[in-house]
C-alpha cells in the first residue's frame, strides 16, 4: 500500500491534466500537438493504475481531507472525462485560439478532480476551477457574443459556488466531518449544497444559462463545454443525494423543458444545448428514483451521453467551421459534400434517440426500466413520451435540417483528418457500446442484472421511434425553422434586469434632481461664501471633505454616547 501511495503521490490524473494545461502555452507546432494528445492519455493511464480507496489524506484545520479517493463510480466518471479530453483535444487540434485547449484541459482536469475528491472541500475547490476553466473556454471564441455570454455564465456559476460553499461549511460544521458521503436534504446546509449542485445540472428555474452560453463558444469549444459541467453535477448528485425524491420531478421538468425549447429553436448548436438539459434530466430522474438499477442507469447514461453529445456537437462544429453558419434555416443538403460528417452526425442522432444497437439504447432504457420496476407509472409514461420527443428534436430535426432537407447550395468539404478521426472514434464508441454493452456495465457502481436486448424492449422502443418519426414528417411544415428567437428565463437577467436597473437609476436621478433644486438655493449662498474663503489657497479648497470627515466622527461619537447612556 505504501508503495502504491508513493506512486500515486505524483500521479493524480486531474493534476496531470492541469499541469498539461499549464505547459501547453509554452509549446509550439508538433511538440504542442503531441502534448495535447499525450497529457490526457497519461492521465488515463494514471487513472487506471490507481487502486481503490482514499489514497491521499491530509489534515487541514481540524478536518481530514482526501483529495484523491477512488471507487467504481468515480473511476467511471473520471474515465469518460479523460476520454472526452483526448478526443476533444484531437478535434480541436486545428483551433486557431491558443487559449482554448489549455483552458479546456484545466476545465477537464478540474472535472476529474471533482470526481476523485473524497471530501467536500476538495469538491468545492475543483468546482470553482471548473467554472474558471469553462469560462476561459467560452471566452477563447473571441467573439463579442462569447464575451458577453461568458460574463453572464461566470456570474451564475460564481453565485452557484457561493451557495454551494455556504452549504458545505454548514454541513461540515454540523457533522464535524469533511467527507463527501450521501446526504439527505433535511437541513439548510444540505439544501444549499443540493441547490449548488443543481445549478450546474441546468435545473429549473435557471436552466437558461446553458443554452445561453454553450452555443456561443467556438466550433470546438462547445464540444468541451457540453461534457463536463453538467455531468460533474450528475456525478455529485449521484454520490451526494441518491434517492432524493424531488429530483424525479426536477428531472422530468428538465426533460420537457429541453424538448420544447429545442423544437422551437433554429440555431443548430442551441438545439443541441437544449437537448443537453433534456438528457441530463433523464439522469436526474434516475438519481431521484434511487434504486440500484436507476443509479446504474443514470451513471451509464452520463457515460453514453458524453460520447454521443460530443459526437453531435463535433459534427455541428465541423459544419460551423466549414460554413460559418449556425442556423438551420441557412443550412441543408450538406450530405453531398460532407458524407463522413453526415454519417457521424446521424450515428450521434440515433444514439441520442436510443435506437437499438447504439449506446443510448443500453443506457437510457435502464432508467425507464427502473421507473417501471419502482411502480412509478406516471414517471414511466412521461419518460416514454419524452423518448419520442428526443427523437423528434435531436434525432431527426438536427440531422434533417442540417444535412438533408432542401439544398442550401453549400458544398463545403469534410473536415481535416484530426477532426475526422475524432468523430470516427466517438461514432465507433456509440455503436460499440450499443452492440456490446458488457464492458460499460462492468464499470457501473452496482452489479448489473439487466438485459437490454429483449424482444419487448426493442419492439417498444422501435414503435416509439417510428411513430414519432412519422409525426415529424407529417408535421414538417410546422417544424420548418424560421429565423426567430425564443424567449427563455434568461430574458430576466439579460433584458429585464438591466432595464429595471436603468429605470431605477433614472427615477433616482429625477428624485435627486428635484431634491437638489430645493436644497441648492439655500446651500448656494453658503457654499459660495465657503468657496470664497478657501479659494486663495488651493490646498484648503480640498479640505472641505476633511470637515465632512470630522462631522462623521462627531456623529459617530454622539451615536455611541446616546446608545450607551440610554441602555
Identified binder of another protein from the candidate list 19, 125, 384, 458, rule CB under 8 A:
125
The number of angstroms, rounded, from the C-alpha of 560 to the middle of its chain's C-alpha atoms is 51
Which CB atom, from 172 or from 298, has the smaller least distance to another protein?
Answer: 172
Which CB atom, from 6 or from 173, has the smaller least distance to another protein?
Answer: 173
Residue 397's SS3 state is helix
Stretch that binds another protein, among 221-229, 439-447, 524-532, 550-558 (CB under 8 A): 550-558
Which CB atom, from 436 or from 560, has the smaller least distance to another protein?
Answer: 560
Stretch that binds another protein, among 353-361, 377-385, 527-535, 547-555 (CB under 8 A): 547-555
Site residues for another protein, window 156-175 (CB under 8 A)? 158-159, 162, 165-166, 169-170, 173
Task: Say whether residue 176 binds another protein (CB under 8 A).
Answer: no
Which CB atom, from 69 or from 444, has the smaller least distance to another protein?
Answer: 69
Shortest Cβ 565–another protein spacing (Å): 7
**Dihedral sign, Cα of residue 313, residue 319, residue 321, residue 323:** negative
For the CA atoms of the chain, what is the radius of gyration? 28
How many residues make contact with another protein (CB under 8 A)? Answer: 34
Stretch that binds another protein, among 240-248, 297-305, 424-432, 536-544 (CB under 8 A): 536-544
Q: What is the DSSP string of 285-322?
A: HHHHH-SHHHHHHHHHHHHHHHHHHHHHHHHHHHHHHH
Task: Say whether residue 545 binds another protein (CB under 8 A).
Answer: yes
The number of angstroms, rounded, from the C-alpha of 414 to the middle of its chain's C-alpha atoms is 29
Shortest Cβ 169–another protein spacing (Å): 5
Give the x/- contact pattern for another protein in 244-283, rule: CB under 8 A: ----------------------------------------
Task: Say whether residue 552 binds another protein (CB under 8 A).
Answer: yes
Q: Does residue 80 contact residue 43 with C-beta atoms inside 8 Å?
A: no
**Dihedral sign, Cα of residue 174, residue 175, residue 176, residue 178:** negative
Q: Which residue has the cell 438545439?
A: 271
Residue 66's SS3 state is strand
57, containing H or E segment = strand 53-60
Compute the residue count for the chain: 567
Shortest Cβ 237–another protein spacing (Å): 22
Task: Say whether residue 143 binds another protein (CB under 8 A).
Answer: no
Identified binder of another protein from the candidate list 176, 449, 532, 565, rule CB under 8 A:
565
Give the x/- contact pattern for another protein in 181-200, rule: CB under 8 A: -------x------------
Angstrom CA distances, 434 to 73, 85, 121, 350, 361, stand at: 21, 22, 37, 11, 7
HSE value, Cβ hemisphere, 13 Å, CA-based, for 385: 12
Angle (CA) 151-198-461 rounded to 5° is: 115
Which CB atom, from 532 or from 567, has the smaller least distance to another protein?
Answer: 567
Task: Say whether residue 544 binds another protein (CB under 8 A).
Answer: no
SS percent in the chain: helix, strand, coil, step 5: 75, 5, 20
Of 129, 159, 169, nearest to 21 (Cα)?
129
Shortest Cβ 552–another protein spacing (Å): 5
Q: Which residue has the cell 473536415?
A: 415
Give the x/- contact pattern for another protein in 37-66, rule: CB under 8 A: -----------------------xx-----
Stretch that binds another protein, among 154-162, 370-378, 387-395, 446-454 (CB under 8 A): 154-162
Identified binder of another protein from the candidate list 81, 91, 124, 426, rule CB under 8 A:
124
**Dihedral sign, Cα of residue 407, residue 408, residue 412, residue 414:** negative
Which CB atom, from 158 or from 519, has the smaller least distance to another protein?
Answer: 158
Residue 515 and residue 533: Cα distance in Å, rounded?
27
Residue 35 and residue 18: Cα distance in Å, rounded?
12
Identified binder of another protein from the candidate list 98, 411, 512, 542, rule CB under 8 A:
542
Q: Does residue 155 contact residue 133 with C-beta atoms inside 8 Å?
A: no
- The residues that touch another protein, with contacts defined as CB under 8 A, are 60-61, 121, 124-125, 128, 158-159, 162, 165-166, 169-170, 173, 188, 539, 542-543, 545-546, 548-550, 552-553, 556-557, 559-561, 563-565, 567
Amino acid at each position: 500500500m505504501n508503495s502504491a501511495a508513493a506512486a500515486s503521490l505524483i500521479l493524480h490524473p486531474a493534476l496531470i491534466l492541469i499541469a498539461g494545461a499549464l505547459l501547453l502555452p509554452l509549446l509550439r507546432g508538433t511538440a504542442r500537438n503531441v502534448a495535447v494528445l499525450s497529457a490526457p492519455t497519461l492521465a488515463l493511464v494514471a487513472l487506471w493504475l490507481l487502486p481503490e480507496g482514499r489514497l491521499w489524506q491530509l489534515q487541514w484545520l481540524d478536518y481530514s481531507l482526501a483529495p484523491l479517493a477512488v471507487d467504481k463510480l468515480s473511476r467511471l466518471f473520471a474515465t469518460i472525462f479523460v476520454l472526452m479530453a483526448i478526443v476533444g483535444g484531437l478535434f480541436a487540434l486545428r483551433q486557431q485560439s491558443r487559449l482554448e485547449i489549455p483552458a479546456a484541459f484545466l476545465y477537464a482536469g478540474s472535472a476529474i478532480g471533482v470526481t476523485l475528491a473524497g471530501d467536500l472541500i476538495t469538491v468545492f475547490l475543483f468546482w470553482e476551477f471548473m467554472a474558471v476553466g469553462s469560462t476561459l473556454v467560452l471566452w477563447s471564441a473571441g467573439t463579442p457574443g462569447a464575451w458577453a455570454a461568458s460574463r453572464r455564465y461566470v456570474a451564475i456559476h460564481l453565485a452557484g459556488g457561493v451557495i454551494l460553499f455556504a452549504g458545505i461549511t454548514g454541513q461540515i460544521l454540523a457533522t464535524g466531518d469533511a467527507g463527501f458521503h450521501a446526504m439527505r436534504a433535511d437541513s439548510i446546509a444540505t439544501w444549499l449544497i443540493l441547490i449548488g449542485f443543481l445549478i450546474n445540472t441546468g435545473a429549473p428555474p435557471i436552466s437558461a444559462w446553458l443554452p445561453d452560453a454553450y452555443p456561443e463558444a467556438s466550433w470546438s469549444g462547445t464540444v468541451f463545454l457540453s461534457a463536463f459541467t453538467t455531468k460533474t453535477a450528475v456525478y455529485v448528485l449521484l454520490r451526494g443525494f441518491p434517492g432524493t425524491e424531488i429530483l424525479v420531478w426536477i428531472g422530468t421538468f428538465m426533460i420537457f423543458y429541453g424538448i420544447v425549447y429545442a423544437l422551437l429553436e433554429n440555431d443548430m448548436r442551441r438545439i443541441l444545448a437544449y437537448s443537453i438539459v433534456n438528457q441530463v434530466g433523464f439522469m436526474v430522474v434516475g438519481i431521484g428514483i434511487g434504486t440500484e438499477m436507476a443509479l446504474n442507469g443514470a451513471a451509464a447514461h452520463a457515460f453514453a451521453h458524453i460520447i454521443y453529445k460530443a459526437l453531435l456537437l463535433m459534427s455541428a462544429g465541423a459544419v460551423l467551421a466549414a460554413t460559418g453558419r449556425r442556423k438551420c434555416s441557412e443550412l441543408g443538403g450538406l450530405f453531398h459534400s460532407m458524407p463522413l460528417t453526415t454519417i457521424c452526425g446521424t450515428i450521434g442522432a440515433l444514439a441520442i434517440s436510443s435506437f437499438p444497437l447504439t449506446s443510448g439504447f443500453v443506457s437510457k432504457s435502464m432508467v425507464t426500466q427502473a421507473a417501471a420496476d419502482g411502480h412509478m407509472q406516471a414517471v414511466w409514461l412521461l419518460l416514454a413520451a419524452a423518448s419520442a420527443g428526443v427523437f423528434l428534436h435531436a434525432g431527426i430535426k438536427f440531422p434533417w435540417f442540417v444535412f438533408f432537407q432542401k439544398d442550401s447550395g453549400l458544398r463545403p468539404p469534410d473536415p481535416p483528418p484530426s477532426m475526422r478521426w475524432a468523430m470516427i472514434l466517438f461514432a465507433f464508441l456509440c455503436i460499440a457500446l450499443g452492440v456490446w454493452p458488457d464492458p460499460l456495465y462492468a464499470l457501473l457502481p452496482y452489479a448489473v442484472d439487466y438485459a437490454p436486448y429483449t424482444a419487448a424492449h426493442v419492439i417498444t422502443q422501435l414503435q416509439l421511434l417510428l411513430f414519432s418519426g412519422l409525426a415529424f414528417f407529417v408535421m414538417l411544415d410546422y417544424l420548418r425553422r424560421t429565423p426567430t428567437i425564443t424567449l427563455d428565463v434568461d430574458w430576466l437577467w439579460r433584458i429585464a434586469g438591466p432595464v429595471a436597473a436603468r429605470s431605477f437609476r433614472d427615477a433616482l436621478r429625477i428624485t435627486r434632481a428635484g431634491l437638489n433644486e430645493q436644497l441648492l438655493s439655500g446651500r448656494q449662498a453658503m457654499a459660495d461664501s465657503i468657496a470664497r474663503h478657501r479659494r486663495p489657497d488651493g490646498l484648503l479648497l480640498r479640505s472641505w471633505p476633511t470637515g465632512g470627515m470630522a462631522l462623521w466622527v462627531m456623529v459617530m461619537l454622539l451615536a455611541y454616547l446616546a446608545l450607551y447612556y440610554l441602555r
